[in-house]
């Protein structure tokens, strides 16, 4: 009986080793592809929030890492700088809404030199399908309502959902998600208004380990 138990234990151990090895090989085989897909999606989003016609530099490469409470968390966020003939034109900032209904909402905000929003897009979220997921462009055009609006500090009160006295629609049956997104965009724009020159002067260091 002991021989049988030892044999079965050995078989289970071998099965576990083989399974772990297969999972590891699968991960290694798909890791590069996943990173390429994520990078391609990010580049697409950057082109949506900062139109390529506005700049002549390599937007994806002209990137600096910033840690600021205004961007929603204490981790590094990427800031992409658009320039034309080496002159500052626009910024695309990765920012976080930490107060979504189901957790963090990751966003990209594009803003030009006049503090006019060029576009906002959702990168990642866990909001409720059919309610909070209207922050996705594939589900709703709501995220486009930021485009073309100019941020002025004296008009900060307008950068809220209508339920709170602002200019942005909330969703039927879901106020928390749009409130979180509008708040994150407002804080990001406020940060840009105070730090725009510094952001363009920072070294390009996004290739470094975050």
What's the pLDDT tens digit per position in 166-185?
999 999 999 999 999 999 99
39 found inside a domain: no
Looking at the DSSP bridge assignments, the partners of residue 136 are none
Task: Report, as an integer, the average pLDDT of 148-165.
Answer: 96
Q: What is the pLDDT of residue 151?
A: 98
- pTM for the whole structure: 0.82
Domain total for the chain? 1
Q: Are 178 and 168 in contact (CB under 8 A)?
A: yes
What's the pLDDT tens digit per position in 90-118?
999 999 999 999 999 999 999 999 999 99
In angstroms, the CA 50 to CA 118 distance is 6
Greatest Cα pair distance in the chain: 82
User: Does residue 27 surpass a pLDDT of 60?
Assistant: no
User: Does residue 204 surpass a pLDDT of 80?
Assistant: yes
**Of how many residues is the chain composed?**
210
User: Does residue 1 surpass a pLDDT of 70?
Assistant: no
User: Does residue 158 surpass a pLDDT of 80?
Assistant: yes
Q: Tokens 């994806």 sit at which residue?
A: 60
Its domain, for residue 152, covers: 50-201
Long-range Cβ contacts of 9-16 (<8 Å, 24+ apart): none
151 found inside a domain: yes
147 found inside a domain: yes
User: Does residue 136 surpass a pLDDT of 60?
Assistant: yes
User: Does residue 30 surpass a pLDDT of 80?
Assistant: no
34 found inside a domain: no
In angstroms, the CA 13 to CA 30 distance is 26
User: Does residue 56 surpass a pLDDT of 80?
Assistant: yes
117 found inside a domain: yes
Q: What is the pLDDT of residue 135?
A: 97
19 found inside a domain: no
Q: What is the pLDDT of residue 120?
A: 98
119 found inside a domain: yes
Q: Are 179 and 187 in contact (CB under 8 A)?
A: no
40 found inside a domain: no
């Amino acid at each position: 009986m002991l021989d049988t138990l030892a044999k079965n234990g050995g078989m289970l151990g071998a099965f576990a080793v083989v399974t772990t090895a297969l999972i590891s090989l699968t991960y290694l085989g798909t890791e590069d592809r996943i990173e390429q897909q994520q990078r391609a999606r990010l580049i697409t989003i950057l082109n949506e929030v900062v139109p390529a016609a506005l700049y002549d530099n390599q937007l994806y490469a002209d990137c600096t890492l910033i840690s600021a409470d205004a961007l929603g968390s204490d981790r590094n966020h990427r800031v992409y700088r658009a320039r034309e003939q080496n002159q500052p034109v626009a910024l695309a900032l990765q920012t976080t809404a930490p107060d979504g209904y189901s957790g963090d909402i990751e966003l990209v905000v594009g803003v030009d030199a006049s503090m006019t929003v060029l576009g906002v897009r959702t990168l990642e979220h866990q909001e409720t399908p059919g309610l909070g997921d209207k922050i996705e462009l594939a589900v709703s055009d709501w995220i486009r309502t930021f485009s073309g609006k100019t941020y002025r500090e004296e008009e900060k009160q307008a950068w809220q959902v209508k339920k709170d006295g602002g200019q942005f629609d909330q969703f039927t049956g879901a106020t928390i998600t749009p409130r979180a997104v509008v708040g994150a965009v407002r804080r990001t724009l406020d940060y840009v208004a105070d730090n725009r020159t510094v952001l363009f002067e920072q070294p390009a260091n996004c290739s470094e380990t975050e």
